[in-house]
Structure 1
Amino acid sequence: MPAGGKPTVRSRRLGSALRRHREAAGVDQSVAADAIMKSVTKVSRLEGGQVSASALEVRALMDCYGVQDMDERTRLEQLARTSNKRGWWVDHQQAMRPDYADYITLESDATYIRSWEPALIPGLLQTAEYAESVIASGPTFIDQETITALVKVRQERQKRIDQGGARFTAIIWEPAITALLHDAAVCQGQLLRLLEVGDRQNVTVQILPREASKMAGMAGAFVAFSFGMEPIVEAVTMQTFASTTVVEAPEDLALYVNVFDLLRSAALSPEKSADRIRHILGEASRDKKEAS
């Protein structure tokens, strides 16, 4: 059971999926309760994420709901087995807010990750030097030990795409990249990192041109996550200095999917985006020579 009856990110995702399948099958909670030999209250708590379903309970419910998709059945059974599993980030929990840990849980489980960033380089693409600069520039004081720990967390997160564990698409507004020209200490390394990672088969980097300011103003930064074989968005997150908001309602997810598709259509192709980054890198090299 999630500690104190509080839903975890994984138990909530599992509960939402169980409810979705039950409703699609036209089965009420009393029938579901009979299928797992539990009370209606237990089914309600399962669907709300307050308690975790076992893999056997998931299997029985999938049979009850007539779910034949083996990939979906396997995915939900695996989610049941890991709903309370402690991740690598627990070792750094003293430096992290609980909501940041929830975000990393989503990222760790995701098969598809889509990121829109109008102001910064996405965390999964940041160099250690850039990450340290961003973390240290926050509105609250963070001691160097905590900064170092948070940079290590960011580098550990990047293994998800470095090792091909997820497909990652990043759309970045051009001013977030040209701003690097004003920070010689991180500029070249960060631009080269964008080019290197963007050349991988599981990563797509697209630049939204500076002139597309109206498009860039449609939404603040957000990340969309998919967890199955198909890129169906199941959660969207927005981070601030104070908290992380997780959106899971289907009608809200549809809005973010639409916004991301509009941004992707307005962005440069991956090839032209790489050319734009190389051009900015060339500017940085010229500025460095002139300064020396």
Structure 2
Amino acid sequence: MSSDLNPIVRLARPAGPDWTKTAANIMLGRAVRDLRQEAGLTQKDVAQAIHVSVSTVNRLETAETTPVRRTVDAVANFLKVGERARDELTMLLSRAMEPEWFQHRFGDCTPDYLHRLLGLESMAIAITTYDVRLVPGLLQTPEYTDHIVRTGLHLSEWDGPELALRLAQRRERQERVMGQADPPQCTFMLDQSVLVRKVGTKGTMRGQMVYLREMADLPHITLRFVLSGRMIAGNAAAMAGSMAQLQFGRGRLSDFVYAEQYQRADYFTKPPRERLDPNKPPTPRQSDYERHLQLLLRIQGEGCASPAKSRRMLDKAIRRYS
């Protein structure tokens, strides 16, 4: 079985000012790491040379924090970086020091565990998701989202700024990912129960089903329902919760699987091939990525109705809510 849900046939999005802060931060750290390794130096060597701690160099390379300009400049000077490489570092640094789109206006209503996903999903060229309880956020209508958000707030907050901010955040997220001139190739796998689990009024459900049906006809979107009678979906998938694989293309950001639970999420990154030692077993984190990816593959291959049947299921749901 292939280890790729969607074989990459498109180039990665080119580096530039349109990159998100999160993406630029990761690529900056990777560029610094590659330059250091090409020079045959350790993190300790660089840290001692530029008079910072080893943890500072490590945080820069792993993009754990927002980079500091003087640290990047010191590394570039010490490694005698050429003009072209320095220009790329400068471009990435400038973008990495800017806030993410959600940090100012939506910072208070964006949980920490979502930051990486929201910062990278617009950079993906392929997204595959599995949602077990609700319509995925990228495909929700405003009315559907409104009901979900309201049920998570206290009654006293319904007329306050919290509700409006959460709804605005969802709309902007959808526009940034799905509204691009060149949107990612998306495969959405929804549990069959989404068709009957009532969210809001009958009109809300009909509007959501109609919107899903429209999306299912777009060339860059594949929508499939995970059938409740398929045991692979009923057992492992239901226990796993919602998941998503994001692919970015070769030579750029590393693909990862996002696995969400209640009030938390885990990120499992695809290890670069050059770092895999064929003579050693994979690390637990490498195994976690493959394990979650294989589960997504099994759901797609063994648990899903075909796209055509899924569209017919939506047609039936639309009639039921009419």
Normalised by the length of structure 1, the TM-score is 0.73
Alpha-carbon distance between aligned partners in 1 of 2:35 and 2:268, rounded to the nearest angstrom: 21
Match among 235, 241, 254 for residue 290 of structure 2 = 254
Pairs within 5 Å for 1:31-50: 33=46, 41=54, 43-49=57-63, 50=65
Match among 177, 192, 212 for residue 195 of structure 2 = 177
Alpha-carbon distance between aligned partners in 2 of 1:268 and 1:210, rounded to the nearest angstrom: 10
Are 1:10 and 1:84, in contact at CA under 8 Å, matched by a contact in 2?
A: no
Find the counterpart in structure 1 of residue 132 from structure 2: 118
Q: Is 1:52 aligned to residue 67 of structure 2?
A: yes
SS class of match (2:219): coil
Find the counterpart in structure 1 of residue 120 from structure 2: 106
Find the counterpart in structure 1 of residue 179 from structure 2: 162
Find the counterpart in structure 2 of residue 143 from structure 1: 157
Are 1:235 and 1:253, in contact at CA under 8 Å, matched by a contact in 2?
A: yes
| Superposition deviation, residue 172 in structure 1 | 0.5
Match among 64, 82, 101 for residue 88 of structure 1 = 101
| Superposition deviation, residue 174 in structure 1 | 0.5
User: In the superposition, relative to structure 1, how do residues 43 and 231 fare at CA in structure 2: closer, same or farther (>3 Å)?
Assistant: closer
Query: Which letter maps to 1:93?
Result: G
Find the counterpart in structure 1 of residue 5 from structure 2: none
| Superposition deviation, residue 84 in structure 1 | 3.0
User: In the superposition, relative to structure 1, how do residues 139 and 206 fare at CA in structure 2: closer, same or farther (>3 Å)?
Assistant: same
Are 1:117 and 1:171, in contact at CA under 8 Å, matched by a contact in 2?
A: yes
Name whichever of 12-21 and 100-109 sits farther off: 12-21
1:76-104 CA distance string (max 9 Å, x none): 98655532332332322233333334431
- Give the length in aligned residue pairs: 268
| Superposition deviation, residue 168 in structure 1 | 1.9
Tell me which protein shows more helix as a share of its residues: 1
| Superposition deviation, residue 122 in structure 1 | 0.3
User: In the superposition, relative to structure 1, how do residues 156 and 282 fare at CA in structure 2: closer, same or farther (>3 Å)?
Assistant: same
User: Percent sequence identity over matched residues?
Assistant: 18
SS class of match (2:321): helix
| Superposition deviation, residue 134 in structure 1 | 1.3
SS class of match (1:85): coil
Match among 210, 217, 220 for residue 202 of structure 1 = 220
User: In the superposition, relative to structure 1, how do residues 171 and 25 fare at CA in structure 2: closer, same or farther (>3 Å)?
Assistant: farther
User: In the superposition, relative to structure 1, how do residues 51 and 233 fare at CA in structure 2: closer, same or farther (>3 Å)?
Assistant: closer
RMSD (CA atoms): 4.1
Higher relative contact order (CA 8 A, sep 6+): 2
User: In the superposition, relative to structure 1, how do residues 183 and 105 fare at CA in structure 2: closer, same or farther (>3 Å)?
Assistant: same
Structure 2 gap segments, 5+ residues each: 1-20, 81-87, 270-284
Name whichever of 44-53 and 194-203 sits farther off: 44-53
Structure 1 gap segments, 5+ residues each: 1-7, 65-73, 286-292
